[in-house]
Structure 1
């Protein structure tokens, strides 16, 4: 690594998504792809256990000491967004103990479509869906789907077995995200893993250059409402983001069809 990167705090990359979408295996994939060229650390979140951390240690993707667990004792969303103290301290401890690190991956406990990280905790965030959750999930929207820095449609190798059209799911996701990046991923597909690797490296470079500004996906991202009478089967509901114009988000909501 170049000497001028040593003084830059590690990129903190959040990984969120519903239960069972493959967040831990995604982190393992990132570690396998990048451990040979970057200095990595991992923090996992579980309510009462360190199971995800133990899975990653047993997978041998990093030195065990570089993988640490936070037991939240409460809703996983709370520990990554509302009271980030435990995760922030864990990240700072990890970076101090293994200084310098390039990237710290922070995995949320399994939550729902509203799970997002506070920008005070992470610099960028991935939101993970999987094809087994249904091809319609991507168009349902929500803050994670709509505004995370990258949306990953995971486990694409399972699509034939669950009746999901991956290109259609990706197209729905791109529409819900207004063109923000979407990656169809399988850990057994080398091309998609290579795309993921390049995305992480690009985000790290932007972080080091100071050109990436952490964003708050917020709780009011566009989301899909089903409506049988609508020609498209429903419509996207989006809330105004200008706090000066709409000081009360619910009362000041606007509808885009």
Structure 2
């Protein structure tokens, strides 16, 4: 936990993406065992999808767990991720699924033709695209007229316990600031979509503060997009954080961490 958090004010957007890709790639082989909240959110997103169609794209597919679910509904499915390690695991776990293709690609520069897909799915990926309008515009472009997209995106109601606990330690910003639900919806409408939206809250439980921080890091939520913080975590600051967190939030000796997620069902007008 002593590694400095990412500060994109000192790194280009390209370097930030490289760091994100490396972080997720390093966790790829164990990701299915550690990212349960990601899976829960993704499965809830899948329930909003059209039942079937010809072609679908999964943006930020990770290890391909949800992409393979799409393969049961669509004739051709493409899964992309920024992390080559994730794509390697996804390809190795394909089994008998022969209508899925995985590749490394950037959500802000999709390598597909305009109007190629009936459906686009993305779960817990687009919150890392800054500004989000760029990736939403890409989704709009690759969809066919009348096509639909289902997106789940972390919003600013997330990690509030951690934010509040850090605020009692010092004034250094240490938790990523996500867009509000209203800002995400506005971005989707600005891209040209007809939007249906909802929010849902998920809570994970952890044995101690170090486990909370590890869980945040493992799903990528520890990446700072705009706080400017370069501070490393010392034993002293971690001890202060643990005291603040446990005194405020501990229930039956376990600590909660909240994820607030925007669910968007988007349609490209015909």
TM class, shorter-length = 0.3 to 0.5
| Structure number with higher strand proportion | 2
TM-score by length of 1: 0.33
TM-score by length of 2: 0.32
